Chain A
């Protein structure tokens, strides 16, 4: 399939330059070749990179002085005459002087000498001697040892990569030793040379080991790296093979990637990654091919699925042409790969790489793709999809992302790899943090969002928003329902919201968490975003995630989950209702809405709220002491008091109601950011009728009083009403319970006590004196037993500390015993 198109800078000019340089050194050595050795058994052999004629400006020149029983004096004179001259010209020369036997036995145990000899080439001296070395080398060191050498090569590569695979080398790649660097390319050639006796890419193509397309892109990629190495050496003025940050801007601009530096660097590095990726894939494919040949008998076959078998331990496609006509057959290959973790058979891989599917896939077939994302080896399958080009058939949007880099130290991986890794991290998280996974509900939604979350990154600012739109269309194309597509889209749109909220907002603020939970809507979406946030960060780079950040994100998750599953937002419709109301009221009241505390908009029907807001607006315009709004609804009254907040206000208001024998059923206290307070009471009158004008006067009086003594005196003098007089005498039941666990933002004070005139006033006052702020109160009276629940916080707006709770409990119990003294036994 569409092989990686590689638009690389003028890389072609590098090859002639390095060849010319090698030639120049050849000629120099020949000129320096001592006359006295003309007829002696001696020769100068180029090995390593120089043997390959790949000499960059500051590359080492590796020489082998081969001789047959020559005296030491003569040898040292000869070597000096050549090597010293080269040193004078500032070449770094590495050399060894040995006889045939010596070099052959050294090379047996020294891999780097052995591999250097693979590129040996006669520069000057006796040809016969050199030819002897060449044939003995082949005979003794290669034939019969092919498998052994391959294992050694493989091990050496593994060892090298374990070092160069670190994240730092992703940002500043090592052109020679890094993953997909020169060394990898050499390993590819060496393996082909040792195992199949093939010398060049051309021969490998002829032997059917690689395709024509692979050969072309391997050549382009290695030429590009060579060119970079050339430039890098010149720029650094020394043998520098690592593309450090400091070199990237100059090189990018110099190589014509544009004049705007940052964009140029990103484009340039994208080319570098693409080139290195081609070499890495090529090398790994060849190694895999060799391993298959060495490790399995060719007839090792096992049935896997209709049209698919396991051949030599790899997934093999039986009906090749059909795969081009039947997308579901094609995609199922990768589905099985994601399930089993097996590699693709080399024949299957090269076939898919060369050919393009002929038929567009439908939504039904798209779902095979989304399903494979949820399988344990999805990451391997994605890599195969990318390598064979099938990925671009399913998701052409990825074309732009391949190797795309961001010039910062935060994002260590190219974009396509980052997205793949996000999927891989999700699979790990599913194992590592299984507690909340069941709430994810629709796994496919989460995994697809993980793969697409940065789909428009680098296309301009606001990639979350633009990506959401694109992701929606992709999801539909892949066969998701509109509902699922919306869920994917929402995850993409919000993929930064959770981490930003967790790190930059105060999670002990109820409003912060409520606003966030509101954005989430329900626990499933919240949980998906939680896992996406972790996976995204872990796939970004080492500095993007740690236990420290994890703790904050988890705190936000748990608090929001609680609100959505147990709290005020628990019902699914609630959040939608809230958003709707906000919109309606915003139009009518403008910025007034912004000052309201969370959940105010939900405490009553919309009509009630509207009336309250009119009153609030009026109060704000004209000020005055307070406003009172009363409405009758199903047997009780809603009384709303708007005034300036002050200590003890709530207690005084309850006192005022008590003086009129009004029963408070519930109360909510809403404090606005500007210090205005909105207290909403539901009250009932024992005999139905209430003289509200009287109540209003009482409130005015009490609010304007300096002290509470007058109010308290009146409360104590208050005679019980006739209708509530008759009560059986019994021991007062008093319970005080304090709970710090149930709510994330409040301490909950629960009180059971015999109902008594003014009880609520004294409780509220006691709490205010402690001091705590009462934010909500729920009061229910069962016969003669009052049950009062208060949601309280410290004056700073926090829950009380656990240590404080026993003292507060004792204090309230003491107060209640005083208010409701025990009856004497004899009565």
Chain B
């Protein structure tokens, strides 16, 4: 099992969600996050006043899938989240030791 974490642009969420649903991904965790990487924050100047945005709003999607699904999921996220511009985001893949469904106590594949 692998955990896939993707940081994407906020306005891409719907598209990514639909694309993932399209390949049969049924669940995911979505959070509103802020941060910066190569795309630094930006300054907005309006009527002489400066408004600095240090951390850019992004959306983080987390999902756990079987190892053989990883490539497909990653490809789907890339295709749907890409704009080609800076700040399109990143994808991280992490190993998952175990998954347990709290309600039933099921483990592993069953629990995901």
Contacts and interface: CB of A to CB of B under 8 A. Distances in A.
Given A558-B46, A558-B51, A559-B44, A552 B85 contact: no
A506 B11 contact: yes
A435 B11 contact: no
A334 B44 CA distance: 42
A555 B44 contact: yes
A744 B84 CA distance: 18
B52 to A, nearest CB: 11
A797 interface: yes
Interface in B37-70: 40, 43-47, 49, 51, 53, 55-57
A562 interface: yes
Contacts of B14: 504
Interface in A44-81: none
A741 B43 contact: yes
Given A504-B11, A798-B86, A548 B45 contact: no
A246 interface: no
B85 A802 contact: no
Interface residues on B, range: 20 to 34
Interface residues of A, number: 26
Given A435-B49, A551-B57, A796-B85, A558 B11 contact: no
A546 interface: yes
A744 B40 CA distance: 15
Contact of B46 (A548, A549, A562): A562
Contacts of B43: 741
A548 B57 contact: yes
Nearest to B88: A796
Contact of A503 (B10, B47, B51, B53): B10
Contacts of B83: 506, 796
B9 A555 contact: no
A798 B85 contact: yes
B46 A797 contact: no
A200 interface: no
Contact of B85 (A505, A554, A797): A797
Contact of B9 (A506, A548, A558): A506
A561 B51 CA distance: 13
A322 interface: no
A546 B32 contact: yes
A565 interface: yes
Contacts of A549: 32, 57
Contacts of A561: 46
A328 interface: no
Interface string A768-789: 0000000000000000000000
A244 B78 CA distance: 40
Nearest to A558: B44
Given A505-B11, A796-B84, A548 B53 contact: no
A466 interface: no
Interface string A557-590: 0110110010000000000000000000000000
Given A506-B9, A558-B44, A558-B46, A551 B84 contact: no
Contacts of A548: 32-34, 57
Contacts of A506: 9, 11, 83
Contacts of A562: 44-46
Nearest to A802: B40
A606 B53 CA distance: 40
Contacts of B47: 565
A796 B86 contact: yes
Nearest to B9: A506
A744 B57 contact: no
Nearest to A565: B47
A508 B44 CA distance: 12
A561 B33 CA distance: 26
B44 A551 contact: no
A555 to B, nearest CB: 7
Contacts of B32: 546, 548-549
B36 to A, nearest CB: 12
Interface string A487-520: 0000000000000000111101000000000000
Interface string B60-95: 000000000000000000000001111000000000
Contacts of A505: 11
B32 to A, nearest CB: 4
A464 to B, nearest CB: 20
Contacts of B44: 554-555, 558-559, 562, 744
A503 B51 CA distance: 19
A187 B29 CA distance: 44
B56 to A, nearest CB: 8
A96 to B, nearest CB: 40
Interface string A313-327: 000000000000000
Contacts of A796: 83-86
A559 B33 CA distance: 22
B57 A741 contact: no
A744 B51 CA distance: 13
B53 to A, nearest CB: 6
B109 to A, nearest CB: 29
A551 B14 CA distance: 19
B103 to A, nearest CB: 15
Quick one: which of A551, A561, A744 has the most chain B CB within 10 A?
Answer: A551
Contact of A551 (B9, B11, B34, B46): B34
Contacts of B56: 551
B77 to A, nearest CB: 17
A744 B44 CA distance: 8
A503 B11 CA distance: 6
A512 to B, nearest CB: 9
B48 to A, nearest CB: 11
A562 B86 CA distance: 23
B46 to A, nearest CB: 5
Contacts of B11: 503-506
Contacts of B55: 551
Contacts of A744: 44
A796 B11 CA distance: 17
B26 to A, nearest CB: 20
B6 to A, nearest CB: 17
A40 B10 CA distance: 78
Contacts of B40: 801-802
Contacts of A565: 46-47
Quick one: which of A548, A561, A796 has the most chain B CB within 10 A?
Answer: A548
A635 to B, nearest CB: 37
A485 B106 CA distance: 61
Contacts of B85: 508, 796-798
Contacts of A547: 34
B110 to A, nearest CB: 25
Contacts of A435: 49
Interface string A782-823: 000000000000001110011000000000000000000000
A797 B83 CA distance: 10
A558 B42 CA distance: 12
Nearest to B58: A548
13 contacts: A435-B49, A503-B10, A508-B85, A551-B34, A551-B56, A552-B57, A561-B46, A562-B45, A562-B46, A565-B46, A744-B44, A796-B85, A796-B86
Interface of B: 9-11, 14, 32-34, 40, 43-47, 49, 51, 53, 55-57, 83-86
Given A548-B32, A552-B57, 4 more contacts: A504-B14, A506-B11, A551-B55, A741-B43
Interface of A: 435, 503-506, 508, 546-549, 551-552, 554-555, 558-559, 561-562, 565, 741, 744, 796-798, 801-802
- Closest 9 interchain pairs by CB? A558-B44, A548-B32, A796-B85, A796-B84, A504-B11, A558-B46, A548-B57, A551-B57, A798-B85
